[in-house]
Amino acid sequence: MSNATLDANKALVLAHCEAVTNRQDPDAIRAQLTTDFFDHASGKMMSADEVSAHSALLHESFANLSVVAECLVAERDIVAGRFIWRGIHRGPWRGIARTGKHVEFRGMTFWRVRDGRICERWAEIDFAEAERQLTT
Domain boundaries, the chain: 3-135
Given a cut of 90, whether residue 1 has pLDDT beyond it is no
- Span 3-135: which CATH code? 3.10.450.50
Distance CA(131)–CA(50), nearest Å, equals: 24
Say how far apart CA 24 and CA 120 lie, in whole Å. 19
pLDDT, average across residues 98-117: 97
Average pLDDT, the chain: 97
What does the alpha-carbon distance between residue 106 and residue 133 come to, in Å, rounded to a whole number? 13
What confidence tens digit (pLDDT) does each residue in 33-52 have? Answer: 999 999 999 999 999 999 99
CA dist 83 and 70 (Å) reads 5
Half-sphere exposure of 92 (CA within 13 A, CB side): 2
